[in-house]
Structure 1
């Protein structure tokens, strides 16, 4: 499934095209972010960019259509911002593209991640141990308000969270790995309801997901001043 070669203390990894599809979600005009991703991943894996949907450009008719479909955290607060909706629709579209491929696993990344761990070893472990009924979160919890949970998650290379309710303590969609079976369920959920993309707890329950695994392969910036989503939430 994987090919790797030792390079000093690091590994050069190639994820073969017949097993894992790697998609990086990024707005088409985010040239600098895209170049940073290329610099991070070019010697690590084959990947392609998915042109993210900019929710600010959606027609009002489409926006209000999804507003009537709100579930979970978004329904509780009564709205979803245009950029949040764009994020949700981008991930939904990636699921659609993946299901039209012949791959067995989908690795979804966003354009603000950095690698900080042994990518090959941990992803190989997730696949080989067959966490195919889990949503495998690969980091990105930096700067959140639950330091004790983060400390708990980091005690092992791969932390198994065998309940969908753990999703209520996990945030962001910047890096996760899912099997075809899980993507099919996520796609069905997003086709019928409108959740915030990182409403993992409610999405997992609605999608009948067994639970989560967590390992810190990728990091997310703690400074959110340049985040469109965060700016719209203020």
Structure 2
């Protein structure tokens, strides 16, 4: 399986931390597209900022443009690689990825399963632990005993109650799905956030499932303020808890028959 690491060329320390982890020697580094010094005129030719504002109700940042364009550029590499089959998965990571213990082994176990999804979220951003309670309360899947087991591994996979913005720290994507993104960007300039899995499911007709617990989180060493992150997750905790039963019902319903 081809593995890609998206990283700004200047972020040497982040790459060092990433490659200090076991089983990372087979990642190909893609130098992320740095848009911070680009003019608005140049960016207009690459990204539909007006379309972004219409969808998200705010202006796009240069960093968000660079993120979306970088992931699309990796998809072009996948499309051009004739050694990758249409239904074969590739792993895409960002340089703040922190792998769970024995990541490579559990990933191999996962890939042996009869996966249907076009995109498999093996990681999530803005989560301080691989099995943090926020995953279940705010982004539930079906009951644990109903999730799809991964032979030889304690991890499982399932569909969440609905697609959501999970970040792009680590995910599997089929070549056919990568080509769907490229086809969409040829019809119209990209206007989406790189992790808008809601759009990808509704408009691109891509199936997205998730692994629980997470196999990848953002490296806390690179999180600017972990305490602020934890505090934000606790914000409106009781409101999230009130919504939990309805979300759990939707998750169970969505996973039935899949």
TM-score (normalised: structure 1)? 0.74
Q: Is the 8 A contact 2:19 2:25 kept in 1?
A: no
| 2:171 equivalent to 1:176 | yes
**Rounded Cα–Cα distance in structure 1 between residues aligned with 2:133 and 2:76:** 33
Task: Summarize deviations over 1:172-224 as a string: whole Å, max 9, x none.
Answer: 10100111112111222344331011111112222111232324111114574
Tell me which protein shows more strand as a share of its residues.
Answer: 1
**Rounded Cα–Cα distance in structure 1 between residues aligned with 2:211 and 2:202:** 17
Match of 2:66 among 80, 86, 97: 86
Q: Is the 8 A contact 2:156 2:211 kept in 1?
A: yes
Question: Residue 151 of structure 1: CA displacement?
Answer: 6.4
Task: Summarize deviations over 1:143-179 as a string: whole Å, max 9, x none.
Answer: 59945135658946222117xx7222x4210100111
- Structure of larger gyration radius: 2
**Rounded Cα–Cα distance in structure 2 between residues aligned with 1:172 and 1:74:** 21
Match of 1:122 among 106, 114, 123: 106
Structure 1 runs, 4 residues or longer, greater than 6 Å off: none
Segments of 5+ residues of structure 1 without an aligned counterpart are 1-19, 227-234
| 2:84 equivalent to 1:95 | no
**Rounded Cα–Cα distance in structure 2 between residues aligned with 1:74 and 1:123:** 38
TM-score (normalised: structure 2)? 0.68
| Residues 122 and 134 of structure 1, relative CA distance in 2, 3 Å threshold | farther
| 2:192 equivalent to 1:208 | no
RMSD over equivalenced CA pairs, Å: 3.0
| Residues 121 and 74 of structure 1, relative CA distance in 2, 3 Å threshold | farther
